[in-house]
Amino acid sequence: MPLPMPDATDRLLAEAAARFGTPAYVYFTDAVEERLALLRATFGRWFALSYAMKCNPNPALLTWLEPRVELIDVSSGGEFQLACAAGWAPARASFTGPAKQDAELEAAIGGGIGELVIENVREAKAASRIAGERGVVQDVLIRLAPARVPKGFGDHMAGRPSPFGIDVETAGEEIPAILGLPHLRVIGLHIYSGTQCLKPEAICENWQIFMDVFRDICTAHDLVPQKLVFGSGLGIPYHAGDAGLDLPAVAAGIGPALDAFRAEPRFADARLILELGRYLVGEAGYFVTRVVSVKSSRGSRIAICDGGMNAHLAASGHFGMVLRRNYVMHRVGGGEGAEKVDISGPLCTSIDKLASGVTLPPLAEGDLIAVHASGAYGPTASPLHFISHPTPREVMATGGQLTDATRIWPHLNT
């Protein structure tokens, strides 16, 4: 994902810190634009795009994305409200999530949502009842959980006991119960079974599984789908030594199968949707935190910063990471020399650590540290109110211009 040249990036990061304070997230929309162009050049012949907003629901970013991405996926009633407030037409939204409440279903159906993604029969029955009370028939997609997920995915949402979707092993019993509900119209299927994969061959294998499942289910229940959602699983490099995903290799590996799939009469008119989140925005963001104090302790150097686990849970290693690894980071402005240092946050707990033994130029009080790949799963995925430190600011950088995009305002900052 191309970003400004390092000097230009650091100038903007330093300016953001000076103008808006730290800790702060800075989102480079020019980099998102480049990523969108790459996705369309690589997959545009097969897929439309859907943005899974749970990865970054910042309202300013949602507004910027609205004219650039076809569809949006929400995972709660609150996200549906946010998307609509940011300018997304309700009909462009789908609604996933395994525990949809009646109030959320009422707001979504009453608000004209495009599709509910049905995750279980209980939810389907509730949606049909609510739609019937409103005198409408609601379009739905049925979410399916394949029997296996290839090796190489960071998080498996199928192939094991899972709250997500209908297991393919029991689909023959559960899908007819959904198809028989009078106020739902099943217009397609949805699979999102694995996330954060950097291996093209694993992604190709996973999407082949999707097509096999779609084919089997549609044949068994005589469905001619209007939409089929492929949960992308496309990963981004977080750690030193990670290689970025070779997107053309994915296209080359799965393209012939996609062409053959689309050539089948049952799927010829189906709209294929690639649902993705972090791959679109993750590498476009930095987390900037300022060094408050530097100390030596029992042979280790420790830099203590104004933002840590409370502001960036993922970088601390407590958001789905089995073995903790440092995110890539750098000292804003560079510097001569190098030393190994632990990076800690401001919390009164030993688990508040952003890096262990990371190599950086020698740090001093007031220095800025930029954590890479921080455009997804940032503020809203972090325990912002733990110990009541100021919450991070959010800044958008577009064409070299910075704007304050803070959603959750810092309660101690002015």
User: Among all chains, which residue has been given the structure tokens 């476009």?
Assistant: 284
The pLDDT of residue 414 is: 43
The pLDDT of residue 184 is: 98
Domain check: are 237 and 356 in the same one?
Answer: no
**Rg of the chain, C-alpha, whole Å:** 22
- Listed residue (50, 11, 84) closest to 272, CA to CA: 50
Domain check: are 231 and 298 in the same one?
Answer: no
**pTM > 0.85:** yes
**Domain endpoint, select from 276, 308, 334:** 276
Domain check: are 152 and 111 in the same one?
Answer: yes
Q: Residue 182 sits in which domain range?
A: 89-276
Domain check: are 246 and 334 in the same one?
Answer: no
**C-beta of residue 48 within 8 angstroms of C-beta of residue 26:** no
Q: Which residues are catalytic?
A: 348
The pLDDT of residue 99 is: 95
The pLDDT of residue 2 is: 45
Neighbours of 225 (CB within 10 A): 21
For residue range 330-344, list pLDDT tens digits in order.
999 999 999 999 999
241: which 2 tokens?
């030594």
Domain check: are 257 and 293 in the same one?
Answer: no
Domain check: are 349 and 382 in the same one?
Answer: yes
The pLDDT of residue 154 is: 81
Is 370 in a helix, a strand, or coil?
strand
CATH of the domain at 246: 3.20.20.10
pLDDT band at 386 (very low <50, low <70, confident <90, very high): very high
- For residue 410, is pLDDT > 70? no
Domain check: are 253 and 330 in the same one?
Answer: no
Domain assignment of residue 172, yes or no: yes
For residue range 96-138, list pLDDT tens digits in order.
999 999 999 999 999 999 999 999 999 999 999 999 999 999 9
**Domain endpoint, select from 247, 276, 305:** 276
Q: Give the span between the Cα atoms of 111 and 182, in whole angstroms.
A: 20
**Domain endpoint, select from 249, 276, 303:** 276
- For residue 413, is pLDDT > 70? no
Burial class (CB in 10 A: 0-12, 13-18, 19+), 7: exposed
Domain assignment of residue 50, yes or no: no
Domain assignment of residue 54, yes or no: no
Task: Count structural domains, the chain.
Answer: 2
Domain check: are 195 and 334 in the same one?
Answer: no
Domain check: are 271 and 294 in the same one?
Answer: no
- For the residues 142-163, what does the mean pLDDT come to? 86
Domain assignment of residue 80, yes or no: no
The pLDDT of residue 322 is: 59
Domain check: are 238 and 135 in the same one?
Answer: yes
- For residue 35, is pLDDT > 90? yes
**C-beta of residue 329 within 8 angstroms of C-beta of residue 285:** no
Domain check: are 266 and 392 in the same one?
Answer: no
Domain assignment of residue 79, yes or no: no
CATH of the domain at 376: 2.40.37.10
297: which 2 tokens?
């302790």
Domain check: are 220 and 118 in the same one?
Answer: yes
Helices and strands: H and E segment counts in the chain:
10, 20
- For residue 324, is pLDDT > 90? no
First and final C-alpha spacing in the chain: 34
